[in-house]
Amino acid sequence: MTRAVCPGSFDPVTRGHLDVIGRAAGLVEEVVVAVGDNMSKRAWFTPAERVALLQEACAPWPGVSVTLFSGLLVDFCRAQGAAAVVKGLRSGADFDYELAMAQMNRRLTGVDTVFVPTAPEWGFVSSSLVREVAGLGGDVTPFLTPPVAAAVGRRAAERVT
């Protein structure tokens, strides 16, 4: 059974993330989407909320599971018996950031990272931009599934009241 880990903060999960997760699901038998719980206090969603939104969004893929992780990603990958980490790349800036982490992770335990180029239509989409645009009243529905867009809308409204 080939298993890969797709890690991230997913605050919130976007259609760009789902593109990468779905394509990873086509490459390996099992994908474990791993939600980091060590993100900054500026996160909009708790780790449990992010997991719940991801579980709903990934439900169509039987080989995909979603879980929280803490500590080192490489330790989580080893515990999961994962053959690889899968990460999406939107740009050269992503590559510069991800390359060092991939090399560090490989040095630590030998786990390799497979980079998946993001589909062009989602190349400019990030969770941080979604939060910024939504927080200022912009329409982020094209970049999110309807349940995630609803959750973002509710959270944006809570933040201004």
Q: Which of 4, 8, 86, 149 binds ligand PNS (CB under 6 A)?
A: 8
Sign of CA dihedral 69, 3, 145, 131: positive
| Residues 147, 137: Cα–Cα separation, whole Å | 18
- Out of 50, 87, 90, 131, the active site residue is 90
User: Does the annotation mark 17 as catalytic?
Assistant: yes
Q: Which of 28, 36, 57, 125 binds ligand PNS (CB under 6 A)?
A: 36
| Residues 62, 151: Cα–Cα separation, whole Å | 24
- SS3 state of residue 139: coil
Using rule CB under 6 A, residue 104 touches ligand PNS: yes
User: Does the annotation mark 127 as catalytic?
Assistant: yes
User: Does the annotation mark 90 as catalytic?
Assistant: yes
Please give the backbone phi and psi of residue 40, each rounded to the nearest 5 degrees, phi first. Answer: -65, 165
Using rule CB under 6 A, residue 16 touches ligand PNS: no
- Out of 15, 17, 87, 131, the active site residue is 17
Using rule CB under 6 A, residue 9 touches ligand PNS: yes
Using rule CB under 6 A, residue 113 touches ligand PNS: no
Element (H, E) at 113: strand 112-117
Q: Which residues bind ligand PNS (CB under 6 A)?
A: 7-9, 36, 72-73, 101, 104-105
